[in-house]
A and B are shown apart, each in its own frame.
Chain A
Amino acid sequence: MEFTLSDEQVLFQESVESFTAKQYDADKRRALSESEDGFSRAHWAHFAELGWLGLGIEEAHGGLGGTALDMAVLMEGFGRALVLEPYLSSMVMGGGALELAASEKQKSALLPALGGGALLLAFAFAEPRARYDLAKVATIAEKCGGGYLLRGHKSVVLHAASADKIIVSARTAGGVGDKAGISLFLLERAAPGVNLQSYPTVDGGRAAEVVLDEAVVTEYDLLGQEGQAHAIIEAVIDRAIIAVCAEAIGIMQTLIEMTRAYLDNRKQFGIPIGKFQVLQHQLVDMYMAHELSKALTYRAAAAIASAESAARARAVSAAKVQIGKAGSLVGQQAIQLHGGMGMTDELPLGQYFKRLTMIETLFGNTDHHRRRFAALPET
């Protein structure tokens, strides 16, 4: 197992840092977060120029053919600065679904635009009553003429409103909860019957409820084989988990640095509060949690490219559990050690805490992944 970053990965890391250092101070981020899209399309175009958008795309389709590990490096850098652009939804999930399910023809039509920054995707897989069960798809795709009619409700679809196309899971056979019978469709966001209720998220992003009311797609909009999408969705979500775990690593590191600096600077009882041993130990706990999380996440990222699905699932769920536990420890203690200052919206601290908290709610929480891990055989 390779734990040191390659030269290329180090270059990526540096380019992310130099971008965020210029573009992502707290005020700029806040202004972006309050803008219409909740992110900057100019930044997105810049990401394309820097090759970040092409990172996960196959070379045959104009990308760099990077690995999950490469993407983790990028996401960690995004976490350090709380980057708002929809890399997770459009590239990791949207791009991931295309890579795993689309035909060569669909790929040629879509991937160059995706990597070039001209196409934004969203991935609509969750439903209101499904909790974290990817097989609980109640949205129906009914065959109709040469295509399908879609009916149903997809919940909390990240960055749906700014996406050009939404990749939607819907049932073509079977009942809610069956793994078989789920299909993926590529839907125009602006098509008739696609109704969005868009809203800000607590961490400064955007999402929407997507209600499909007889939305029409053609047979060419089917991604992959009809009824076979469950395994694809699971693989896409596993990639998304690695991405948010890496993002969480970056967030935790920043929180620890901020807290470390605060313990140095804040004086009470005539000395820096960092002199109080009980606070030192709390910071040490945070530091240890971060180190362990980082090691496990990078190990899982390296594993998912190669491993078969059970081993991949175990590695990914292990990372998500570790990040869930570490994230709440690091986030809560960072606030606590800042005292009243930790509660304000005036420090960036709270934004990091909120994003870290939301990562726990995405793609299955700690309980969900602990259960998934326990149910899988050791490999």
Chain B
Amino acid sequence: MEITLSSADAAFQSDVRSFIEAALPGDIKSKVELGQHLEKDDYVRWHKILHTKGWAAPAWPVEYGGTDWTPLQRHLFEEELARASTPRLMPFGLSMVAPVIMAFGDAAQKQHFLPRILSCEDWWCQGYSEPGAGSDLASLTTKAVPDGTDYIVSGAKTWTTLAQYADMIFCLVRTSSEGKPQTGISFLLIDMHSPGITVRPIRTMDGGYEVNDVFFDEVRVPQANRVGEENKGWTYAKFLLGHERTGIAAIGRSKQELRQLKVIAAAEAAGDGSLAEDGAFAGKMADLEIDILALESLVLKIVADEAAGRTPGAEASILKIRGTEIQQRLSELALEAIGYYANPYIAEAQEAGWNEPPVGPEYAATVAPHYFNWRKASIYGGTNEIQKNIIAKMVLGL
């Protein structure tokens, strides 16, 4: 069941495909295919290649360096990126803080930050969650107190993804304790190199290092780095939630992982044939493929709505729930496929350049850590329970 494309879109797709094929460095491609850890430089190199081509931020308005592609073309582009095993473009700058700056930032902020996000000169991270404020984000307590033309920021953020690489962090901070908790929050852009900021690594159970505590000890931040009005930060953060969310379904990535799963299943022996021919396993792969098709259909519908000028609403929550369930299921079936070879854990084999003979098939080395790591998907970005609360309330009116 392929999408039927107009000849213009088909030509677009093939242009994108051949560009990526030629431009993606082989060492990066191989790491992504084998599920090995990517270094900061891998992400940055690939981002810069796309930037040079003018494709780093297709969803941005042309005036800021985006493209005039249709929503469908943007979707096709995403799919080609995934299909070719490219590293994910980090969303924190490109699709999280940039739209907020475009909509609510002042001229100086736009001029300074947007080009640096586009070119990947600055690496951004997201400072929302705190030890005491996860699902209940509005209860956050990191505070910013005015001092001359600055704020003095104190408190702690947690689970901050890849803060160890970051030059900038966008934070929700408390500027008032009057009224409802939501009404005393401001949106600040903070230089990660400021005195008073400490980053503490948090190891995840898969052995990886991608999240951190970020501590603020009387950090001086110019008030010029506040986006929009004081105490209006919650509105800006919510604006972000409704913005360009089809990406979170990660359809392209899931389709690519399904292709890889099929390769694994065909290589694994079972009974007199391969695991791909095993009725029970083939049935489970088919179920998953159908789940992906259904989600893709919904994404395409939203894409068409967007093209017709309708802004998506709480569908984002459906995409997040289903998209992450699919990602987790993919990781589960891969684990199931490799049987006993799920057990070995060779830390070095999670990195590129390990030259010892592999234990079991080469594709097996990262499968169990990947499964453990992807339990995060139903937790980050608002847990799936919270997403269901949103649908219940906003869509079903319960």
B275 contact set on A, CB distance < 8 A: 131
Contact A361:B129 (CB < 8 A) given known A268-B136, A342-B375, A353-B372: no
Cβ of A275 within 8 Å of any chain B Cβ, yes or no, is no
Asked whether A126 and B379 contact (CB < 8 A) given A200-B345, A268-B134, the answer is no
Smallest CB separation, A64 vs chain B (Å): 31
Interface of A is mostly: mixed
Contact with A along B193-204 (1 / 0, CB 8 A): 000000000111
Min CB distance B324 to A, Å, is 11
Question: Judging by beta carbons under 8 Å apart, are A202 and B368 in contact?
Answer: yes
Which residues B341-389 have CB closer than 8 A to chain A?
341-346, 357, 359-360, 368-369, 371-372, 375-376, 378-380, 383-385, 388
> In the complex, A342 Cα to B377 Cα: how many Å?
12
Q: Are B344 and A199 in contact (CB under 8 A)?
A: yes
Contact status A340-B375, CB under 8 Å? no
| Chain A residue nearest in CB terms to B158 | A340
User: Beyond the given A155-B340, A278-B385, A335-B375, could you list 12 further A-B residue pairs with CB under 8 A, ordered by the A residue number?
Assistant: A156-B340, A197-B357, A202-B368, A207-B343, A268-B134, A268-B139, A339-B134, A340-B129, A343-B376, A344-B204, A346-B202, A367-B280
A355 to B: closest C-beta gap in Å = 11
Contact A339 B203 (CB under 8 A): no
Question: Which 5 A-B pairs give the minimum distances between C-beta atoms?
Answer: A350-B205, A345-B203, A268-B136, A202-B345, A156-B340
A-B contact pairs, 11 of them (CB 8 A): A200-B344, A205-B343, A339-B135, A339-B383, A340-B134, A340-B211, A351-B205, A353-B205, A361-B340, A362-B343, A365-B336
Are A269 and B135 in contact (CB-based, < 8 A)? Answer: yes
Cα A245 to Cα B201 with chains together (Å): 35
Please state if A362 and B359 are interface contacts (CB–CB under 8 Å): no
B residues near A, CB below 8 A? 129, 132, 134-136, 139, 158-159, 202-205, 207, 211, 268-271, 275, 278, 280-281, 332, 335-336, 339-346, 357, 359-360, 368-369, 371-372, 375-376, 378-380, 383-385, 388
B369 and A131 form a contact (CB under 8 A):
no
Q: Are the C-beta atoms of A156 and B343 separated by less than 8 Å?
A: yes
User: B339: which of A132, A207, A328 is its contact (CB, 8 Å)?
Assistant: A132
Measured in the bound complex, the distance between the Cα atoms of B278 and A131 in whole Å is 12
Cα A342 to Cα B159 with chains together (Å): 12
- Asked if A370 lies at the interface with its beta carbon under 8 angstroms from chain B, I say yes
Nearest residue in A to B371 (C-beta to C-beta)? A357
| Neighbouring B residues of A365 by C-beta, 8 Å | 336, 339
Q: How far is the CA of A350 from the CA of B388 in the complex (A)?
A: 25
Across the interface, do B339 and A344 meet the contact criterion of CB distance under 8 Å? Answer: no
Q: Which of A269, A345, A353 contacts B207, CB < 8 Å?
A: A345
For A335, the closest partner residue in chain B by CB is B375
A129 touching B269 by the CB < 8 A rule? yes
A343 in contact with B204 given A354-B372, A365-B339 (CB within 8 Å): yes
A201 sits at the interface (CB 8 A): yes
Distance, CA A141 to CA B345, complexed state (A): 30
A18 contacts the other chain (CB 8 A): no
> Do the beta carbons of A340 and B379 come within 8 Å of each other?
yes
Closest chain B residue to A352, Cβ basis: B205
CB-CB contacts of A24-45 with B at 8 A, as 1s and 0s?
A: 0000000000000000000000
> Could you tell me the distance in whole angstroms from the C-beta of A40 to the nearest C-beta in chain B?
20
Q: Which of A199, A203, A268 contacts B359 (CB 8 A)?
A: A199
Is A238 part of the binding interface, using a Cβ–Cβ cutoff of 8 Å? no
